[in-house]
Structure 1
């Protein structure tokens, strides 16, 4: 229901109710009647106003309904026009498709023969190329088959080598579990490393050196000789059995690695107590503890990172092959520099000796030159005397017929010996 109609209904109902009450209620005093009449009059006035507004609203409603009817009519017209245009478009599209299909079929029929000829002409080089490619692919497939056969043989060789390597590794692991074999293996690794560093045994290093000190006898695995007469002891008897067992036993690995850490720590403490430097001449107060397996030291350092620093504080340097090679190459470089210095000194001594000998030789040569000059002067004087005194008499004897022939005068020597003209050379 519209709001205006509802308001009008309420007003009319109130007015009718007031009238009924007025008719049924007994008459009261005059003042009360007058108020009632005034209320009725007011309600009637409001009713008239409401009727006017209702009339206006109805008029606007009629206009709106007419406008709606006009719009609906226009919409129906547009829908009909759209339907006509759609039908026309569909008809034109159908005709266009039919025309295009007909034209396409005709053009295809006309050009099919020419197209086939041109396609055949253009495809001929491609067919030849494909034939060559097919032959090449067959050759490659054949070659690949042969290569696969060779690869198979190579893989078999690799597998056999791997099996042999595994067996050797297993044998090495078993050997390393024995203390005597493990120590020997460490010594062999140490020997290889010093050779890789370019050092020469008995000159740059010594093995199994036996020394005596107040604390007892010592025999380090190696003594590295330093330039200047110094030396450093190297020990390779590091226990690795717990580490090797840990690599094979997954369940007890943590416990075995803890044992490995303790074994390494006990070993460097033992070396610190031995004080190898006391039994070596001009040795720095440090000993090298060689661990031939890099991963063994890594495993120990992961569990006790401060181990390296603690060992250094106790004059023990824990060295793996990488670090030891660096140290040994430094020592070898020092030896080469010392050898160069020795050679330079020897060259200087030889130069001085050569200089002295040249001076002596120059002195002797000068004396020989002087003697040659004296001999030349004496010879020339003898020739002059021969010519002026003896040959004159000889010629007279020839003239007297005592003898036949004449003695000719020898030529004098006019070239004097050259004396050394260089700077003076000290004797």
Structure 2
């Protein structure tokens, strides 16, 4: 009975494994196959599945029969045990009834017959299971054979397809391979260039580091130097001079540096710059702004210390404004505008001062001080330079007006003289025409008689009188007395300019030549035949 159970379990495991193997093979076959072959394999697989299902059904029936036989055997054994017990009881009570013993023996025989029948059914079920297992093994072998052939054919087809695809892929990959080779070459060149650039960049970084270190040392030296009042003052004066020159001014002409003056209170002042205005007025500029606290603020890294130094810088700036307002520079020259310019030699200083003291301009204006950075001072000095240009233009205009008046007067004198010259020329023309008429009517007639007397054969030329009349001067400015014209700008008009006597000449004495003194121009005398 135990061997039968083990065989039955092995049969079930074999069926399950065979079904799993068939499913796996069919799955691979289904994945690899294609077209009609795949359909054929699917049909075979379906047939195999049907056979497996039938085998499973037979196994199930066999199992059911075996179970029923086992139940019957168990029942028979139980009945046999009960019969043995009854036999024992019957033997114990043999004396009670021989008839009962016979019946019990008959029952035992019947039960034994049932056991034999159950054993026979069990043997038949085992034989059927063995047949089913043999059929399953044959089916699995046949399926393996068929699937192996299909797989071989499909593998050959797949190899051919793979070879064709490999060739096509190789053809497609050839341009890509060439591109990759070119890319590798280009990448090599780029790598070489990158190495060269990295080397050059490293050199440049070293140069920048060296320059930065040198700049840091120079900055520290400049910061240390600017802490000295003399150096700070010289730097401010240099910046102030550059700003004045950028504004178009000339030293010792439009401005003066370090000019010493005395105020009305007998106080000696020496501003850094003294800008000359028109009409002898001046504007004073001071460039001594306190920088020590500002430099300390730039050098510290602690924020609280920096704010402390900046607050001290703002306090020093306001104190410098108060000091400049108390010096009263404008009292050194009467008429000078009552303010002094506090020059901040750097835009950053001016920005920081205005940030710390927003009302710095109002505070300084209340003390007659104007705060100016380089940009604002350039605009201010350009305005002064423009005023100088306008003053020079006004002076030039006055000189032009004076010269114009003098020229006007001289033109009047010259016109008067030209008028006299024209009258003299008219008298000369009249005398010439009269002489020509007298010569033709009296002298030439007598002279031609020599030709008639054959004294000479030469012909006497004819004389032509002047018929073009002289043009009279019509402009009143040239004939009127120019001294009567009032002066516009400049000196007063005089009765006679120094050059007038040099332009006047005496009239030519032509009346002795013709014997006539009439001022009228005689009509031209025409030649008589």
Q: TM-score, normalised by structure 1?
A: 0.63
Partner in structure 2 of residue 189 of structure 1: 239
Looking at CA atoms only, which structure, 1 or 2, has the larger radius of gyration?
Answer: 2
1:421 shift after superposition: 6.8
**Partners of 2:277 and 2:388 within 8 A in 1:** yes
Q: Does 1:179 align with 2:229?
A: yes
Worse-matched range after superposition: 224-233 or 271-280: 224-233
2: distance between equivalents of 1:114 and 1:354?
111
> Are 1:232 and 2:283 counterparts?
yes
Residues 1:316 and 2:356 are matched in the alignment: no
- Which range moved further: 295-304 or 383-392? 295-304
Give the secondary structure class of the aligned counterpart of 2:234: helix
Give the corresponding residue for 1:27: none
Q: Which runs of 5+ in 1 are unaligned?
A: 1-89
Q: Secondary structure at the match of 1:242?
A: helix
1:345-403 per-position Cα deviation (integer Å, ceiling 9, x unaligned):
55555555555555555555555444444433332332222222222222223444555
Are 1:411 and 2:461 an aligned pair?
A: no
2: CA distance, partners of 1:356 / 1:147? 83
3-state SS, counterpart of residue 316 of structure 2: helix
Query: How do residues 65-84 of structure 1 correspond to structure 2 at under 5 angstroms?
Result: none
| Distance in structure 2 (CA, Å) of the matches to 1:123 and 1:351 | 97
Question: In structure 2, the residue corresponding to 1:415 is in which secondary structure?
Answer: coil
Does the Cα contact within 8 Å between 1:386 and 1:409 map onto a contact in 2? no
Q: SS at 1:223's partner residue?
A: strand
> Could you report, residue by residue, the CA deviation over 1:224-277 in whole angstroms, capped at 9, with x for unpaired residues?
234565422111122322332343345654554444334323322221111111
Taking structure 1 as reference, are residues 155 and 214 closer, same or farther at Cα in structure 2, changes over 3 Å only? Answer: same
- Secondary structure at the aligned position of 1:201 is classed as coil
Given the alignment of the two structures, is residue 265 of structure 1 paired with residue 348 of structure 2, yes or no? no
1:96-152: CA deviations, max 9, x gaps?
64545988986894596488458737954x666666666665555555555555555
Question: Where does the alignment leave 5 or more consecutive residues of structure 2 unmatched?
Answer: 1-23, 39-153, 483-529
Q: 2:344 aligns with which of 291, 310, 322?
A: 291
The correspondence for 1:166, drawn from 204, 213, 216, is 216
Partners of 1:136 and 1:280 in 2: CA distance: 80
SS of aligned partner of 2:274: strand
Q: Provide the C-alpha distance between the structure 1 equivalents of 2:182 and 2:436, rounded to a whole number of angstroms.
A: 107
Report the number of matched residues: 338
Q: Residue 285 of structure 2: SS of its match in structure 1? A: strand
Task: Kindly indicate whether the alpha-carbon contact (under 8 Å) linking 2:264 and 2:331 is maintained by their aligned counterparts in 1.
Answer: no
CA distance in 1, matches of 2:28, 2:341: 100
Q: For residues 156 and 302 of structure 1, what CA distance do their matches in structure 2 show?
A: 38
Contact 2:260-2:271 within 8 A present in 1 as well = yes
CA separation in 1, counterparts of 2:34 and 2:281?
Answer: 106
Aligned to 2:261: 211
Normalised TM-score (structure 2): 0.52
Instruction: Flag the 1:307–1:118 CA change in 2: closer, same or farther, 3 A.
Output: closer
* Cα offset, 1:192, TM superposition: 1.1
Aligned to 1:375: 428
Q: Does structure 2 retain, via aligned residues, the 8 Å contact 1:383–1:409?
A: no
